[in-house]
């Protein structure tokens, strides 16, 4: 018997799953009623595609539970990870706004619960809800800052900087409010996201732990000082620029 696709496994969300959607709280009662009636969730298996490059946009997606990765193909055909997507993260609002085909793939790294808001309801909320508009604008602003920083950091080609930057992004409380202080992620999953070996990721995590920014725990990472983690990114970046400038 053939396995059902993620789309075929969609269902109505539970009350607990609805409560875990951050933008729901920004809606007025009538807006909330319309959004909740349209929302669907799917139980994604590892490797399931949530959206695929070139496919038309039909939903605005969010992560209720689990971990996804957003990737694309580079010029040489190799997969290039653009972002990790932990709980609380909603993505693809730019694609949804323009109703254009996806320019990336999103896959489940582990068993996950993914929510989808139909594209027509997404646009209805944009037309009628100030709270929803503010949430989407905040998402776009944070995401722009992340991608600008990622582009600059990737040019410096530092494994320690790549790990620190990705962790700071994954612990972003605006983008991923469902994470809190503990991110459920294995070192192998983090290695997939940053494009490094598990051993090299382990070394970078040990450095960040020695600096008091994070603590490696069983099955995940705890951020002890988010500002210290962000400061580590700037410190490593400035040191690298200093070395390059001194050549």
Classified as helix, coil or strand, 29 is helix
CA distance 175 to 85: 9
Q: What is the pLDDT of residues 11-20, one digit of tens each?
A: 999 999 999 9
Q: What confidence category does residue 83 fall into, taking pLDDT thresholds of 50, 70 and 90?
A: confident
Give start-end residues of each CATH 1.10.10.10 domain in the chain: 157-247
- Residue 177: φ, ψ to 5°: -65, -15
| Residue % of the chain over a pLDDT of 70 | 88
Task: Retrieve residue 98's tokens.
Answer: 């323009």
CA terminus-to-terminus distance, the chain: 63
What confidence score (pLDDT) does residue 1 get?
Answer: 40
Residues of the chain with CATH 2.60.120.10: 1-156
Fold of the 157-247 domain: Arc Repressor Mutant, subunit A (1.10.10)
Chain mean pLDDT for the chain: 88
Domain 1-156 has CATH 2.60.120.10: yes
The alpha carbons of the chain give a radius of gyration, in whole angstroms, of 19
């Amino acid at each position: 018997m053939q396995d059902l696709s993620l789309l075929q496994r969609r269902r109505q969300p539970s009350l607990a799953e609805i409560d875990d959607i951050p933008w729901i709280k920004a809606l007025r009662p009538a807006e909330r009623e319309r959004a909740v009636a349209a929302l669907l969730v799917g139980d994604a298996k590892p490797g399931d595609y949530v959206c695929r490059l070139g496919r038309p946009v039909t939903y605005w997606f969010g992560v209720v539970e689990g971990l996804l990765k957003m990737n694309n193909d580079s010029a040489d055909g190799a997969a290039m990870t653009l972002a990790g997507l932990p709980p609380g993260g909603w993505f693809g609002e730019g694609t949804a706004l323009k109703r254009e085909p996806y320019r990336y793939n999103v896959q489940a790294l582990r068993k996950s619960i993914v929510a989808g808001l139909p594209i027509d309801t997404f646009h209805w909320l944009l037309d009628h809800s100030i709270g929803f508009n503010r949430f989407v604008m905040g998402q776009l602003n944070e995401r722009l800052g992340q991608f600008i920083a990622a582009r600059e950091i990737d040019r410096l080609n530092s494994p320690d900087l790549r790990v620190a930057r990705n962790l700071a992004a994954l612990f972003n409380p605006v983008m991923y409010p469902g994470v809190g202080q503990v991110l459920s992620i294995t070192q192998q999953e983090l290695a997939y996201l940053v494009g490094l070996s598990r051993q090299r990721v382990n070394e970078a995590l040990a450095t960040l732990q020695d600096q008091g920014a994070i603590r490696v725990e069983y099955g995940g990472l705890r951020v002890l000082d988010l500002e210290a983690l962000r400061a580590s990114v700037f410190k490593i970046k400035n040191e690298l620029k200093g070395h390059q400038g001194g050549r």
